[in-house]
Chains A and B, each alone.
Chain A
Amino acid sequence: MLPYMPPGNDIEFVLYDLFDAETEWAQIPAFDSFDRDTVRAIVTECGKLARDVMAPLSQSSDEEGAHWNDGVVTAPEGFKDAYAALAAGGWLGVSGNPEFGGQGLPKMLTASLEEMFWGANTNLWLYATLTVGAAICVDAHADEDTRRLYLPKFYSGEWTGAMALTEAHAGTDLGLIRTRATPRSDGHYSITGTKIFITSGEHDLVKNIVHLVLAKVPDAPAGSRGISLFLVPKYIPGDDGLLGERNGFESASIEHKMGIKGSATSVINYGDAIGYLIGEPNQGLACMFTMMNYERLSVGIQGLGLAERAYQMSSSYAKERVQGRVPEGSRVANTDADAIVGHPDVRRMLLTQRAYNEGGRAFSMYVGLQLDRAKYAPIEAVREKASGFVDLLTPVAKAFITDRGLECTLLGQQVFGGHGYIREWGVEQLVRDVRIAQIYEGANGIQALDLVLRKVLRDGGATVGELIDDIRQTEVPERYTAAMDEALNAWQEVTRWLCDSAPSDSNLPGAASVDYLDVTGHVLYAWMWARMAGVSGSTDKRYVADYYFAKLLPRYYSLVASIRGGSASLMEPSSDWF
């Protein structure tokens, strides 16, 4: 199979040419040591690891899958060493808190590193990504001792993390969970219950696995206000970090799935396992939310990484595969057929991938930039504004990038014709591996609902308005200004229409949500493309920007029309009519 090709140059383009990282980071004391050379070295090293260590194990891990035997879970062959290499390189601590051994890199940068990890081997990176999430959560909400004990182990990769939210009857609706936390005499809790779908809940890559578990304390209020968060390690560490007794939980089975077969998804039974409360009782969901913005962006980037891989494979195939005659004029003499890259429609498939991928890279790094500003900007007003943008854009990053991820991996597969359907070629795996990203970390329908209800309607469209103002103030090349204006107006108008109409129709937000998220994504990518074409000296970006404006941006017209189609046609039929 084609080796993975790290998109290092484009990452640097986005960092420096598009978002002027130098100026940006100079204003933030925590980042002022990241000069260009350092950053280039990080991006290059990361790319090498992705290409040489991670990518070669992707296909074999899909073939082999993870194994379960009487509670013992074994990751696919080669994962243990590869994971050790990730840990040894310090890659698990890149965004970690420097106080506890993390490297504190800007999110704008680590977003791009994650793209390479996901793209090279989603199956392997899944064992790591939840560790990053768990560390964020512990850093933000745990007490000093817990942070001192756990964070260095997470950042060094010695221990991994897992998130245990879902139960058989409770996925979206976590208020329904039944796992119980009963106080023990030592001040800690005893956790009992069954969680399902727990990624990396059990495996053999490292010695200790630390679960963050949502459970209910006695007399907790019903619903989502009665959920608490607990830290539940597989082996209970002493204060010195040495591992002690085995805690009371185990993997009851692992799932057979459509994709990410190399990632072990466990049913976990907790039987009187010791749990340490994180944050206040009944504040568990709020604690989770801190980390959710990062995790959702990360899952969005999963979609991007796999889509980028699909582009790499399909663009290279399209140049080699000869089939049919391209329209006269561009034919190669003395051949029976031409490379399929000459067919207009194959170009449509390649350019669509390229436009959504490079647009997605810029957009995901833009959201990373806003996360950095929200956390580190010296001026409070800047922090606040960025934090508003983060809230607004997180559901878009999760859902829009993963929806495009499915679209692009499918196009990549289609370029391969019948060969794309055959496992050996490796491209159908991308489709199967990306499909989950539309589901976990909150199904994409739920992201859309979050966007419309909480991020748009709640402030009457104020944050969207603020972002639109920002967009209007950026300079974009003349050739795109008319289309850009038209798109912004449409977005603004449909936002206003939603805000005006929702109070009298409680079903409208849910009826419009997915289309609205799609409009938002398409307009934001147009902004990315216009800006990229503006700052890039090469024709590459201009070609793709032209294509985006001609062929992809027009999608928002029909989406707006569908939003204005209202909710009646959805809600009129009674439930038993279906």
Chain B
Amino acid sequence: MDYQTPLRDMRFLINDVLDFDGHYEAIESDASRELVDTILEQCARFAENELFPLRASGDKTGCSWNDGVVTTPAGFAEAYATYVQGGWPSIAGNPAFGGQGLPRSISLWVEEIMASANMAWTMYGSLSRAAINAIDSHGSDDLKATFLPSLISGEWTGTMCLTEPHCGSDVGLLNTRAEPHADGSYRISGTKIFISSGDHDLADNIVHLVLARLPDSPAGTKGISLFVVPKLLDGALNGVVCGAIEDKMGIHGNATCTLHFEDSCGYLVGHANDGMRCMFTMMNEARILVGTQGVCLMELGYQVSLQYATERLQMRSASGPKSPDRPADPILVHPDVRRMLLTQKAFLEGGRVMTYFAAQLSDIAHRGSGDDRASAERLLDLMTPIVKGFVTETAFEAVNHALQIHGGHGFIRETGVEQLVRDARITLIYEGTTQIQALDLLGRKVVMNQGKALMSFIEMIRAEADLQSGGPFASALRELADQWGELALGLGGKATGDVDEIGAASVDFLMYSGYATMAYFWARIARVASAREDDAFMRGKVKTAQFFFDRILPRANAHHRAALSGADSLMDVSASEFGHH
């Protein structure tokens, strides 16, 4: 199996479609095109040479646990040391604590390049970035000075500890306790489960960001506070015990830990009972990152299945032999194999541009000012559940196509594609399941917000349609703009009459919104690319856009119908009637 970083596509989207040059100027960053190019190229080399070779072996060996000590697969620690030496962890870090102060968008691309080569390995560093953001945005100066330099340099890694055995989606149920201590710190006790990178042998120390409850705090999510709890405190163990690691369907190379906090010393981040808000700083970025993981897996899936489709000879083309001198034609000639390839390409490159767009909004939300900043924040809020929910759902479909193109060989572990399916499956679950993203989108980001953010995005679609007036996609875009707005309005209206409507329509609405968003971006890509007909890469973009509108976008209609069909058929059934025969 080979893997090559898709630098051409990344640059095309960065420079030609989303104009990051202009964007960086607007947010007053001195990131230049040359700098970005150098970073991407060097990172690509690192990922291809150091990380990709550990992808399959890491899956095969997995992590091991022995009496509280977690060992990562062979080679992971060495690769991590190279990563730290190369300065990769610090790209977007705060310069006051040793970071390079570059926009977050660049660190997302670095993440993408590495996770395409090895997702399980990359996760050890990903969670650090979330921890850094939370401490940097909400921590006291002391906390920042204590934790940020080592986290930003990568010498230490971070985690996010929300989930407990009885609470996942509903964080408000959590039981972990924090008792105030005389010196101003807290003593944390409780059990967290499913903590990614919760223990490992890559770094000197692990910094846990833990949600817990103070004594007498209000019930539910209003009584949750955020604490930073290091594994080692001044070099001594701090009562954080890894009780077990999970045996999982995929991402075997990343340790998913049960962590017991036994009177561990922790420090409050932000205000008491304000933990959820602080956590969301981490979570929003992490959600975009999970969307990116979907893109990464699709990229590798597309590359290997395309390669396989050009090499595997099986049956003749329906329109006459294409390789008459060989015993059969490459399966790439068959329409249905093309359908599977083009579907991957459409979701992959469409998903990629959606994550880059979110990264651009996130840059503005962090560095811009005034109205720009406020509207970027609103749009990012809207885009986040779409990127997390829709990109991962379509990514899962795409990697299954990659497997299917390999026929029976796809089912065999050594071929390496079935790992993509197993790895991709988690992206639909963690950081909030697809269902939770869907509720967030329709409930919070559309209905509660009276559709403001959605309307501003719909305006972008209309503007694109105007730009393309008379072109092949203009009328479809206009229809989408009308239909999407009406659908949101219709569901909002129904929701006031029946509280179940939001939940009943949510996933169909999320999928509809995803297809609509992707249609907008494919149209935009086609507009840019159609100016450069002489180039196969550009022609390919136009053709993929056409394929998307012909063959994929019609799916939006079915979601539209299902979303509007109401809650009754779901809610009439009583709990006991869900029983068996």
Indicate if the CB atoms of B170 and A439 lie closer than 8 Å. no
Residues of A with C-beta under 8 A to B166 = 322
With the chains together, A341 CA to B574 CA distance in Å?
9
The yes or no answer to A572 lying at the interface (CB within 8 A) is: yes
* Residues of chain A with a CB closer than 8 A to B566's CB: 550
- A510's partner among B250, B332, B336, B561 (CB-CB below 8 A) is B336
- Interface contacts (Cβ under 8 Å), in number, total 280
**SS of B interface (majority):** helix
| B interface footprint on A406-437 (CB within 8 Å = 1, 0 otherwise) | 10001001100110111110001001100110
User: Are B550 and A339 in contact, with the CB atoms below 8 A?
Assistant: no
Q: Return A270 CB to nearest CB of chain B, in Å.
A: 19
Q: Is A78 an interface residue (CB 8 A)?
A: no
CB pair B408–A197 under 8 Å, yes or no, is: yes
By beta carbon, the residue of chain B nearest A6 is B581
Q: How far is the CA of A460 from the CA of B400 in the complex (A)?
A: 33
Contacts of A436 in B (CB 8 A): 411
Residues of B within 8 A of A166 (CB): 408
Question: Which residue on A lies nearest to B307, using beta carbons?
Answer: A578
Neighbour of A422 across the interface among B246, B314, B333, B339, CB < 8 A:
B246
> Which residues between 316 and 331 of chain B lie within 8 Å of chain A, taking CB atoms?
318-319, 322, 327-328, 330
- Return the contact of B570 from the options A259, A347, A549 (Cβ within 8 A): A347
Give the residues in chain B near A445, CB-CB below 8 Å: 334, 336-337, 340, 404
Q: Given A176-B328, A570-B342, are A558 and B555 neighbors across the interface (CB < 8 Å)?
A: yes
Which residue of B319, B332, B558, B573 contacts A351 across the interface (Cβ within 8 Å)? B573
Interface bits A2-15 vs B (CB < 8 Å: 1, else 0)? 00010111100000
**Are B543 and A572 in touch, CB under 8 angstroms?**
yes
Report A-chain residues with C-beta under 8 Å of the C-beta of B506: 344-345
B569 x A551 contact (CB < 8 A): yes
Verify B569–A546 contact, CB threshold 8 A: yes
Binds A, one of B22-30, B46-54, B421-429: B421-429
Contact for A258 among B168, B345, B413, CB less than 8 A: B413
Candidates A259, A546, A577; contact of B568 at CB < 8 Å: A546
Q: Which residues of B contact A406 (CB under 8 A)?
A: 400
By beta carbon, the residue of chain B nearest A347 is B570
Give chain A interface residues in 1-39, CB to chain B under 8 Å.
5, 7-10
Cβ contacts under 8 Å, B170 to chain A: 323-325, 337
What residues on B are CB-neighbors of A439 within 8 Å?
Answer: 404, 407-408, 410-411
A557–B435 touching, CB < 8 Å = no
Answer whether residue B184 sits at the interface, using C-beta atoms and an 8 A cutoff: no
The answer, yes or no, to whether B366 is at the interface (CB within 8 Å) is no
Complex contact B425–A336 (CB within 8 A): no
- Say how far B422's CB is from chain A's closest CB, in angstroms: 7
A421 touches B578 (CB 8 A): no
A578 adjacent to B332 (CB under 8 Å):
yes
The reply to whether A569 and B407 contact each other, CB–CB distance below 8 Å, is no
B310 near A575 with CB under 8 A, answer: yes
A-B contact sample (10 more), CB < 8 A, given A423-B247, A439-B411, A577-B539:
A9-B581, A173-B314, A341-B575, A417-B433, A421-B425, A511-B335, A546-B569, A566-B550, A570-B338, A578-B345
Contact surface of A with B, Cβ cutoff 8 Å: 5, 7-10, 166, 169-173, 176, 197, 255-259, 312, 315, 318-319, 322-325, 327-329, 336-337, 339, 341-351, 354, 406, 410, 413-414, 417-418, 420-424, 428, 431-432, 435-436, 438-440, 443-445, 448-449, 506-511, 513-514, 539-540, 543-544, 546-547, 549-552, 554-559, 561-562, 565-573, 575, 577-578
Closest 5 CB pairs of A and B: A344-B503, A510-B335, A561-B554, A565-B550, A327-B499
B interface list, Cβ under 8 A from A: 163, 166-170, 172-173, 194, 219-220, 246-250, 306, 309-310, 313-315, 318-319, 322, 327-328, 330, 332-342, 345, 400, 403-404, 407-408, 410-414, 418, 421-422, 425-426, 428-430, 433-435, 438-439, 499-500, 502-504, 506-507, 536, 539-540, 543, 546-547, 550-552, 554-558, 561-562, 565-573, 575, 577-581
